[in-house]
Amino acid sequence: MTISKGDKLPDATLLQMGENGPESVTLSDKTAGRKVVIFAVPGAFTPTCHSAHVPSFIRTKDQFAEKGVDEIMCISVNDPFVMRAWGKDTGAADAGITMLGDPDSAFTKAIGMDFDAPPAGLVARSKRYAMLVEDGTVTVLHQEESPGTCEVSGGEAMLAAL
């Protein structure tokens, strides 16, 4: 079942790079008592993700902060090493966007946002979406119909929904 507005996020452990290597991040800890935006992409360094989705949140980060958003997180079914490199390459890390890996797609599958596109080399990947989460509950959810488009899930569209 796909997650919907009003649903509580399942507890999940994701990975990010810390000073001494990969570190576990418990999503419930990151969202408890906070207002966060989570956006997910099919893959780091893939065309739409790299040139449209991440840049849209870099452009709008300050405006989200003005609306009370505590943190913006990007999730991809990639390892934390790739997510760190991608965050550096795009400027997301410098902008303060938290880059999180869901390497075995456990979280992505738990919220029903997984898909496969073997001809493109994408297996067990995340659909493209963005959500506003308040104290662990989804209050806004924008999912793209196609993984190659970034319209309703981009930073500007999410900002307009707040």
Catalytic residue numbers read: 49
The angle formed by the CA atoms of residues 24, 29 and 33, to the nearest 5 degrees, is 160
Q: How far apart, in whole angstroms, are the C-alpha atoms of residue 151 and residue 155?
A: 9
Q: How far apart, in whole angstroms, are the C-alpha atoms of residue 55 and residue 9?
A: 25
CB of 34 closer than 8 Å to CB of 69: no
DSSP 33: T
- Strand, coil or helix: 113: coil
Q: How far apart, in whole angstroms, are the C-alpha atoms of residue 125 and residue 147?
A: 10
